[in-house]
Amino acid sequence: MIKKALAILLILGLVFTSVVACGNNDVEPTNDDQVKEDTKDDTEDNKKEDEPKEEPKEEPKVEQVVTYNMGADPETLDPGKATENVGFNVIINTFEGLTNLDENDKAIPGVAKKWDVNEDATEFTFYLRDDAKWSDGKPVTAYDFEYAWKRVINPETASDYAYQLFYLKNAEDIINGDASIDELGVEVIDEKTLKVTLQGPVSWMLEMFAFPTYFPIRKDVVEKNPDTWALEADTIVSNGPFKVTEWSHNEKVVMAKNEHYWDKERVKLDKYVMTLINEDTTALAAFEAGDIDGTDGVPRAEIARLQAENDDFMILPDLGLYYYTFNNKVEPFNNEKVRKAFTLAIDRSAIVNTVSMGGETPATGVVPVGINIGGEDFREAGGNYDIDPNSAKVEEAKKLLEEAGYPNGEGLPEITLKYNTNENHQRVAEAVQEMWKKNLNVNVTLGNAEWKVHLSNLSEGNYQVGRIGWGADYAHPMTFLDLFISASGNNYTQYSSEEFDEYIRKAKSTIDIQKANEYMHKAEDLWMERYTVCPIYFASDPELMKSYVKGWRKSPLGYLYMDKAYIEGK
């Protein structure tokens, strides 16, 4: 997961349509209007001609448009470069990979209508649909996947998610300069047949093919506008259920039904409008005024009221980690004892119960609760390390800070905690700031920036401690562990470990579930015992959706699928 908020926008004055509770709502619209006939008067004294019959009344057509608020402006809509949740939520509705995910987030056919797998599960042969087309009507081919993947793995592309392709043969060697790009484990047999060779067997690989970094893109589209093709609506060409028709930055992204999509009959919406209202209170006001149909951001202070009064409010499951990352190369967080002291001095139970208040769980590791592998919950098996989920460990934290050379917080350099602009992030940061002052006698300054600037600061190491979140890309511990490998563009800690990298390689290269679990636990142990990051809580997903929007699905992976959504009963 990375479960992923910017400028306050204009609230749309248009009346749009919206959404119901999560689940499958397959009730067909009904017509309650009855065709009525006028009677004629047949009295003996006065016979009249039959009066003309009224035409059947047409039921008013409901505009099939859903407006949903996602918050921050996407960084990019390039599947090969996107890393954050808002961009992904546009991409999964406008692009499509070899496979799709069903309601249980398991692989089903996508652009590929079928596939063959060899005996040791290291070779996949995909057969593409003849009617798979791009939004401009051109056919989707195996070459589009080959081009997309080689572009991601090319070091010149600088894709933060390039490591997601390390499952492919020679991918990691290509990134490290030890192999040619032409040695990547992908081969075009013909325009509709693609052969994929893995570095080793991977039990969750079919789900990976449904991840945006594996989506196809068109070479001619990219090369025509290499730097900007995925930043403006009029240059984006996609192959999914919808296509981007308008992108008013920091205001909204408008997606219309893609008439060239191979399964366009399942798409009922004419438009899906994603607004980019950054402030949760503003989004809530827009929802309650009927200007938007749903919102991903719910003010935590309003949750109790909404639970009591609003049937459109729900808390959905979410595989996500909310955490603070330390810059392991700058003072004072280049000292392991300081990192541990700051981590132990936080009362996570108080944060989830009095600050976030959205059904979150105190985080005691990198991998969230709720991921069952080999018959065990990975988090329960991994334990809590030295973190107490129910309270701060004040005395131990003070002792660690003293051992690090900062008794009672004395001598520490100025410290700034950075977060991206958002009401909940601010509330959490203020609570942590107070805890660090009370428990460690440390003065911490808060600094916020809009999402893109904040991500840039983290990526460039321009911070001491900063807020970030991660939502699962697929339902497996690996999605929370391999973001910290040395080659990951999402590892903001400025720390890398070859020992950690090797545990991840071994876990990915075995089909023995128990061995894979063993390696993954060792990797998490190494990362957490160094306190490179400070887990805060495991996420939940408070949502507001109008009851008249049916057929939508919000995955625990954080993706809102609108390809089966429709309006009924508005």
- The residues, any chain, with a CB within 8 Å of residue 548's CB and separated by 6 or more, are 17, 18, 19, 20, 567, 568, 569, 570
Range of the domain at 157: 96-216
Amino acid (one-letter) located at 276: L
Model confidence pLDDT, tens digit, residues 214-234: 999 999 999 999 999 999 999
pLDDT for residue 352 is more than 80: yes
Residues counted in the chain: 570
**272 contacts 166 by C-beta, under 8 angstroms:** no
DSSP labels for 11-55?
PP-S--B---SSS---PPP---PPP------B-SS-B-PPPPPPP
Residue 288 identity (one-letter amino acid)? E
Residue 207 shares a structural domain with residue 277 = no
- For residue 282, pLDDT over 90 is answered with yes
Q: Does residue 462 lie within any of the structural domains?
A: yes
CATH number, domain with residue 283: 3.40.190.10
Q: Which helix (H) or strand (E) holds 308?
A: helix 303-309
Contact in structure between 359 and 539 (CB atoms under 8 Å): no
Residue 193 lies in a domain: yes
Mean pLDDT to the nearest integer, 168-193: 96
Range 386-414 average pLDDT: 97
CATH number at 529 reads 3.10.105.10
Mark whether 288 and 334 lie in a shared domain: no
Structure tokens at 108: 């089903």
Domain assignment present for 50: no
Q: What is the pLDDT of residue 56?
A: 55
Same structural domain, 165 and 276: no
pLDDT at 488 over 80: yes
Supply the angle between the helices 498-508 and 513-529 in degrees, to the nearest 10: 160
CB within 8 A of 404, min separation 6: which ones?
Answer: 332, 335, 337, 338, 341
Cα separations in angstroms, 480 against 165, 189, 254, 322, 485: 15, 34, 31, 11, 10
pLDDT of 297 reads: 85
What is the rounded CA–CA span in Å between residue 124 and residue 108? 14
Asked if 371 and 475 touch (Cβ cutoff 8 Å), the reply is: yes
Give residue for tokens 């989830």.
352
Residue 53's pLDDT band, with cuts at 50, 70 and 90, is low
Q: What's the pLDDT at 58? A: 57
Q: Are residues 345 and 326 in the same domain?
A: yes
Q: Is residue 408 part of a domain?
A: yes
Q: In the prediction, which pLDDT does 4 show? A: 37
pLDDT band for 193, please (50, 70, 90 cuts): very high
Find the CATH number of the domain harbouring 136: 3.90.76.10
- Structural domain contains residue 306: yes
Does residue 8 carry a pLDDT above 50? no
Q: Is 287 a member of any domain?
A: yes
Q: Are residues 509 and 442 in the same domain?
A: yes
What is the four-CA torsion angle of 296, 300, 303, 305, rounded to 10 degrees?
A: -130
In this predicted model, which residue has the larger pLDDT, 315 or 59? 315
Q: Domain count of the chain?
A: 3
Q: Domain check: are 84 and 100 in the same one?
A: no
Residue 40 scores a pLDDT above 50: no
**Within this chain, do residues 341 and 410 fall inside the same structural domain, yes or no?**
yes
pLDDT beyond 50 at 41: no
429 and 346 assigned to the same domain: yes
**For all residues of the chain together, what is the average pLDDT?**
89
Residues in Cβ contact with 119 at an 8 Å cutoff, skipping those fewer than 6 apart: none
In this structure, the answer to whether residues 502 and 449 fall within a common structural domain is: yes
Residues 63-120: tens digit of each pLDDT: 999 999 998 899 999 999 998 899 999 999 999 999 999 999 999 999 999 999 999 9
272 and 386 fall within a common domain: no
Instruction: Give 530's strand partners.
Output: none
Please give the model's pTM, rounded to 2 decimal places: 0.79
Residues 167 and 292 in one domain: no
| Residue 521: closest CA among 395, 387, 385 | 385
- Residue 70's pLDDT is 94
Which 3 state secondary structure label does DSSP give 313?
strand
Select from 216, 246, 278 the last residue of a domain.
216
Return the structure tokens found at 196. 């994929």
Residue 165 to residue 184: CA distance in whole angstroms:
10
Out of 216, 247, 267, pick the residue that ends a domain. Answer: 216
Residue that is last in its domain, among 216, 240, 265: 216
Tell me what the mean pLDDT of segment 534-562 comes to. Answer: 96
Q: Are 62 and 570 in contact (CB under 8 A)?
A: yes
Domain presence at residue 161: yes
Lookup: tokens for 422: 């958002």
Same domain, residue pair 110 and 206 = yes
176-185 long-range contacts (CB < 8 A, ≥24 apart) are: 176/487, 181/150, 181/153, 181/154, 184/149, 184/150, 184/153
3-state SS of 52-118 is CCCCCCCCCCCCCEEEEECCCCCCCCCCCCCCCHHHHHHHHHHCCCCEEECCCCCEEECCEEEEEEC
Does residue 186 belong to any structural domain of this protein?
A: yes
